[in-house]
Structure 1
């Protein structure tokens, strides 16, 4: 039997209004649906629910295939056949490759890194792609996706055509990594599944430990998948590779061309067995579902979340209201019973897709947990008020800001959240961009007749900076813009939480999630704890090619494909002033190695560890009267390359 963490129901005092019936999904069990035709599935990267058809449901002549609520399961061959319906011509394929070269060989700041540091030959990969009529549409896009993956950059992705773009593939289970006590060898265990997709007479289920996938040792399989993903560092490749073992967003992830997967595993009793499972493919036919799906894998795939959306205008009266409400008397205290040590806090319906929160009872006392799956929301007075309201409900013993799987978004949102936790004004991070004659021509030719004053404001300093850099032969401009919009350069929100804070990250935390993490570490706002060795390493702003074609129609022509590019990147500030985030990331202050109990019991050991850490931080503050600069528990030493677990005889993971 697998050991479970002890739970202890107890009467406690909580700052709560009401207890929510559910929180944003962490497992598919949170996504149950009453419709017998459908299954609720938790998107593991973004922790949002969507529905897929029940496998027992068979298509009949009476089925309404336009029924958006019940899309049918399809095969990969059917999806590919549809994607090839409007086959690209040789000329169209050549236009796509030329468009990619135009953008990436001229204005993308990553090229400097790749040529001088990473030694990646992206142009050669593009030149090697076959564009003949014999190549199918899907083969062409698959090769383009593979070429983009060579850049090891989440911000640079090639997006597949419909219907692949709005389709998913799943094996019906979820995998988590864990480490045995005293070991640094990664192990992989099933911690969630859709029972309807797994044979009922099989011993394969929650608690099964994976050993081999299609005859390949699981760790090597994970590393291979991660290396062939856009992830930019080893930590991100491992975490992304685990995700790709069992789930694919076909908009940007590899298509599983083999219909089945052979799995060798250990049962919960330690018996070695094997099972063959099919990939289940489902089309998400509504635009709303497609958008939800795309956010989970890459925010820029459909919406420019990394850009600068239109801002709400905040009046002085709005700011006064925010300060009055946040600094008002404390909220009413309600006594409740904590079941299993966890109580979710209800979030206003307008923001249930933005964050979740809960109170956790640990042996070190009550702690809060605030989960930010992305920074994609438009910053508004309502958002700031709701963040403050939730933070004021949290126990002052300590707070976990959980940014695991955070897929990025808006820098202004990250600043507002950071300032809600500290008394200081969060300073801006400087932005820079690659200097090229092509980019200068683009900016000079931009049609700015119909843009707003705020949209136009960046153009003059950009052009001045480019002129200077080109004149003296610099590869990059100097710092040219603040990362934040003008109204957020000064402090906007009051502090709403006054206890010690820990920022929790993994290798999937990315972009604006990395920005928030860098602010926490570089200014000592909170301690950064990682369940991986690094974050996703994204420090840039994204544009889609189609957006560039709309902005610069005289210079860039539209093509029959979509991809994204990072044109601005930000530097770290504070104690790490001048350091690059893009591709390099941020090392956590403390490395935590998830246990088997964490994988099977909702991170219970992790929260006990963080509860103890917060208690030490609180006691240190009580003794000194100041925030602790260092957490006195030194993280365990990382293994040297020679100590890393071998994959095969004489083979080690590539750094």
Structure 2
């Protein structure tokens, strides 16, 4: 059976899509890959532990929370490990994989997907994979685990999307998922279980040790009801490159809110199961027409970020936009493309879908909210933990262009006297940017989340709920509950570059670390509540069905359609603007609005009631007015806001 498994992999690669074939051809079986692993010296291991102590003891913002909530003491565990390393020699030190396993276990113990130990070469940047994907659904009989995607070119008897998995290497599949979930970080039970399912077949080696087994035996029931088994080898391949360099000092790196595991896994799934997206990226770069679009889809300049389509539901036709990631370098370019895409969709109902989105640029996430609501967006404030090292970093960059950590300095200095645990809370996202363009979509909006929404996506979902944009429809009881801004060890080192007393030293052989540096707090009705470990609880819960997994979310979209149908669009617009004798005469048209207030160049000038959805409004201002903002109200409640350029 081993020989058959070894033969199947070259066949799968040979028949892979052209856009990824050459990339996958470089993959290797796990056994041969591991032959080149394990070159850390004893001194290099000591350096890694010392640097982990600096990050967790002096930078980690959630340390008090995690110590209390999960009854863990990662700092003491690192001190004990460091003491053991002092007693070891190059000859007596244990195998390297045991060292990596212990370091990973220490970081995983805090259940924070922002705070990671990143494995060195040859693991960094690579993934372990099996050529199929498994997802779970629920029906009256309970929870089921089903194959939903098979890599192009891969085949086995009766093995196709829709087959149900019963056992994983002899372990009942549900128990295998729970065992996997226990090994991976996650702020709540739904998040851990969700990652337990995903990691059955896709594991980023940057964060996780390679599988202990060289192959798995999958027991499944095919469509005819026949019980079968498949034996398949793990393979290792270089992942698709990340979209943002999180180690360089840049706005994108400093505003990172990213679940690295989810981001790595998302790119791996594109490589393995969505090669058309790779082809679309190649076409965009070459300035060619977008290949592989379905009839209902809208072409995008950011295929790895968005998928946009018209969907037919039992309640009518609505727009659907999937946001796969917020991990971009330019948040305003992200928002412009978001606005362009939703402008080509039906305007009486929009489904915004952020499932499996691991986050990214916090500005992109919070800038996007304004597009969907007439309300002014209040970005979530963030806090440092009060330590001498964090104060030192903030002092050094309190006036730095593009960094500017000055807002946190006074409260960090004050903590020396008050003993406060956290600094003052200030928005990381610029409030002007979060309200620069205002509302652009005027129909009702539903947000779909799941337990793999994390970090910037948690913050996007929290802002969506806190600003009462629309109902949150979750396929799990919580989002991933990652409420922090994350910085890498290399970025922290760069922020103190040239400081002779810096505690940071370079990590050996491409090893890395990340840490939650600033925690986020919610606004609105839940003002001051931390996002970490709590996440966003959806307003409505929908359990994924077999039909959802096999028929492009059919039941989920029907549920979202019902929520949209119960709400009505509210629109306002200026149909004509004429200057007469120093006054501005506006013709305003609106739907489901009974009053409009008019602002010209951000100053209030007029208010009028509507008759049959229309009103003539005269504003006594000069003809040089540049823009008019029309706020629409229904029964005294702000329901729409439109800014019209007048010149």
Q: Give the shorter-chain TM-score range.
A: 0.7 to 0.9
Pick aligned residue for 1:527 from 439, 456, 471: 471
Give the drift of 1:404: 0.5
> What are the within-5 Å matches in structure 2 for residues 361-380 of structure 1?
361-379=312-330
* Contact 2:187/2:481, CA 8 A, preserved across alignment: yes
In 2: Cα distance, 1:188 partner to 1:303 partner: 43
Structure 2 CA distance for partners of 1:624 and 1:186, relative to 1, 3 Å: farther
Deviation by residue 1:135-194 (Cα, 9 ceiling, x = unmatched): 3444422332222111111101111122211222211111111111x45x3211111112
Give the drift of 1:452: 4.4
Work out whether 1:611 is the aligned partner of 2:611: no
Work out whether 1:550 is the aligned partner of 2:550: no
Give the drift of 1:75: 2.6
Structure 2 CA distance for partners of 1:436 and 1:38, relative to 1, 3 Å: farther
In 1: Cα distance, 2:168 partner to 2:331 partner: 47
* Contact 2:215/2:233, CA 8 A, preserved across alignment: yes
Partner of 1:346: 299
Give the drift of 1:195: 5.3
3-state SS of paired residue (2:181): helix
Partner of 1:476: 422
Deviation by residue 1:512-542 (Cα, 9 ceiling, x = unmatched): 1011100111121121111111111111111
Give the drift of 1:466: 0.6
Deviation by residue 1:114-145 (Cα, 9 ceiling, x = unmatched): 22222123234435646443434444223322
Q: Root-mean-square deviation (CA), in Å?
A: 3.0
Partner of 1:270: 225
Partner of 2:75: 123
Partner of 1:601: 551
* Contact 1:384/1:493, CA 8 A, preserved across alignment: no
Structure 2 CA distance for partners of 1:40 and 1:101, relative to 1, 3 Å: farther
Give the drift of 1:90: 1.3
> What are the within-5 Å matches in structure 2 for residues 620-635 of structure 1?
none
| Structure 1 consecutive aligned stretches of length 4 or more whose deviation exceeds 4 Å | 35-38, 127-132, 299-306, 339-342, 619-628
* Contact 1:71/1:283, CA 8 A, preserved across alignment: no
> What are the within-5 Å matches in structure 2 for residues 244-323 of structure 1?
244-284=199-239, 289-291=240-242, 305=252, 307-308=254-255
Unaligned stretches of 5+ in structure 1?
1-34, 42-49, 54-68, 310-338, 629-655
Pick aligned residue for 1:400 from 351, 355, 378: 351
In 2: Cα distance, 1:592 partner to 1:301 partner: 38
3-state SS of paired residue (1:618): coil
Q: How many residues align?
A: 519
Partner of 2:20: 51
Larger Rg: 2
In 2: Cα distance, 1:219 partner to 1:627 partner: 50
In 2: Cα distance, 1:105 partner to 1:166 partner: 27
Give the drift of 1:362: 1.7
Partner of 2:63: 111
Pick aligned residue for 2:430 from 485, 509, 520: 485
* Contact 1:52/1:282, CA 8 A, preserved across alignment: no
Give the drift of 1:256: 1.0
In 2: Cα distance, 1:77 partner to 1:341 partner: 40
In 2: Cα distance, 1:485 partner to 1:195 partner: 44
Work out whether 1:503 is the aligned partner of 2:466: no
Structure 2 CA distance for partners of 1:341 and 1:278, relative to 1, 3 Å: closer
Partner of 1:647: none
Work out whether 1:434 is the aligned partner of 2:385: yes
* Contact 2:377/2:431, CA 8 A, preserved across alignment: no
Partner of 1:17: none
Structure 2 CA distance for partners of 1:303 and 1:367, relative to 1, 3 Å: farther
* Contact 1:170/1:246, CA 8 A, preserved across alignment: yes
Pick aligned residue for 2:457 from 513, 530, 534: 513
In 1: Cα distance, 2:253 partner to 2:192 partner: 22
In 2: Cα distance, 1:248 partner to 1:159 partner: 13
3-state SS of paired residue (2:312): strand
Unaligned stretches of 5+ in structure 2?
1-11, 257-291, 572-590, 595-632, 636-647
Structure 2 CA distance for partners of 1:51 and 1:38, relative to 1, 3 Å: farther
* Contact 1:341/1:360, CA 8 A, preserved across alignment: no
In 2: Cα distance, 1:475 partner to 1:528 partner: 33
Higher strand residue share: 2
Deviation by residue 1:190-209 (Cα, 9 ceiling, x = unmatched): 1111253443xx22322111
Structure 2 CA distance for partners of 1:39 and 1:147, relative to 1, 3 Å: farther
In 2: Cα distance, 1:248 partner to 1:380 partner: 29
In 2: Cα distance, 1:342 partner to 1:528 partner: 28
Structure 2 CA distance for partners of 1:604 and 1:223, relative to 1, 3 Å: same
3-state SS of paired residue (2:16): strand
Give the drift of 1:341: 10
> What are the within-5 Å matches in structure 2 for residues 90-105 of structure 1?
90-105=42-57
Pick aligned residue for 2:37 from 83, 87, 92: 83
Structure 2 CA distance for partners of 1:470 and 1:223, relative to 1, 3 Å: farther
Deviation by residue 1:360-398 (Cα, 9 ceiling, x = unmatched): 112211111111111122345544332222121121231
Pick aligned residue for 2:147 from 171, 181, 190: 190
Q: TM-score, normalised by structure 1?
A: 0.73
Q: TM-score, normalised by structure 2?
A: 0.74
Partner of 1:540: 484
* Contact 1:225/1:244, CA 8 A, preserved across alignment: yes
Give the drift of 1:342: 6.2
